[in-house]
Amino acid sequence: MIGLSALLAAGCGPSEGKTEVAGPPPERVVAVSVQTVQPGPMKDVLILPGETRPSEDVRLAADQSGQVEWIGPREGQAVKKGELVAKIEVFSLKAALDNAEAAFKLSDELYRRRQRLFERKIISREELDQSETDRAVKMGGVRQARVQYEQGFLRSPLDGRVNYLHVDPGEYVSRGNPVLDLVNIDRIEIDVNVPEMDVRYLKPGQPVMLRVDALGEEVFQGSIDFVAYKADSTTKTFRIKVMVDNPDHRIRPGMIARVAFLRRVVPDALAAPLFAIVDKGGERVLFVEDNGVARSRTISIGVIEKDRVQITKGLESGDRLIVSGQKMVEDGIKVKAQ
């Protein structure tokens, strides 16, 4: 009996015959960061590329055929408006002018002598008229020779720099052939093609900001100089001419610029960071924190400014927008705002 009691006592020990019941799993809580949505102004900015050009670009051509006797400036050298830059065939033209002036002088003296003789009634009126006609013809020859002589002197039509020399001294050029290229880059022109839906926001005198790819992140300020009245028939875009001061000549023609046009300002926009938006099956979704629970909002967007986007539908002022941890939550999940 004693042995049996001991055996029964051993069989009823704590290690046998006892079943443990597991409790419910701990509820999942996601740590998130939130920011309160408040209305504020947003700028609707349109950024488009364009190519820089000099404000003045002239190809100076020969006014007449002949030998290039002299070229003054070198490539890259600055010239002033009206400055002499080249001489073409001026030696022979000067000789032609001297001959024309000498012929006129002789004709003029003959006319004056015959005028005195006519007054004394020694010669007829017909002889005086012939002399007067010859004098007028010789005067016309002088004027023509002087014009041709002056055309042999090429002068700069602008303040600028010599960008390219097409000829060297001693070469022969025909009338109309290029001699040198002049550019003025104190101001730079940028042509930008603007879509038809955006041109209504732009007008001459409107300030713009721009960056030049070759000059990094430096920002330049310019203004709209011209808005085309007619669209390009192929691209259906309107040409916008932007002017920007370039006193240090850092911007060079042919560079690519990115011009920012301010289309409008939305005064009371509700905005969210771009990174806060989550793609759920092709829908744009934001999550807001509501009494410790994440709630999803399907949204519509409007203006985009840098890293912010206007929310036109799905967000209200005062909402606690989840801006960190939003990719780890679903609608209805408990969250803890930090």
* Mean pLDDT per 10-residue interval, the chain, length 338 residues: 44 49 66 92 92 95 93 94 94 91 92 89 88 92 92 94 94 95 96 94 95 94 96 94 95 96 90 91 91 92 89 92 91 89
pLDDT at 273: 92
pLDDT at 206: 95
Q: Could you tell me whether strands 178-195 and 237-245 are parallel, antiparallel, or unpaired per DSSP bridges?
A: antiparallel
Question: Which 3 state secondary structure label does DSSP give 147?
Answer: helix
Structural contact between residues 170 and 226, judged by C-beta atoms closer than 8 angstroms? no
In CATH terms, are 90-151 and 270-337 the same topology? no
Strand partners, 337: 32
Domain ranges of the chain: 47-55+185-267, 90-151, 270-337
Topology (CATH) of 90-151? Helix Hairpins (1.10.287)
Looking at 2.40.30.170, 1.10.15.40, 3.20.20.70, 1.20.58.1610, the CATH number of the domain 47-55+185-267 comes to 2.40.30.170
pLDDT at 21: 52
Angle CA(26)–CA(14)–CA(18) in degrees, nearest 5?
Answer: 55
Tokens 């051993």, located at residue: 10
pLDDT at 24: 55
Cα separation, 175 vs 14, in Å, equals 119
Looking at 3.40.50.300, 2.40.420.20, 3.40.50.2000, 3.50.40.10, the CATH number of the domain 270-337 comes to 2.40.420.20
pLDDT at 282: 84
Q: Would you mind telling me the total number of residues written for the chain in this entry?
A: 338
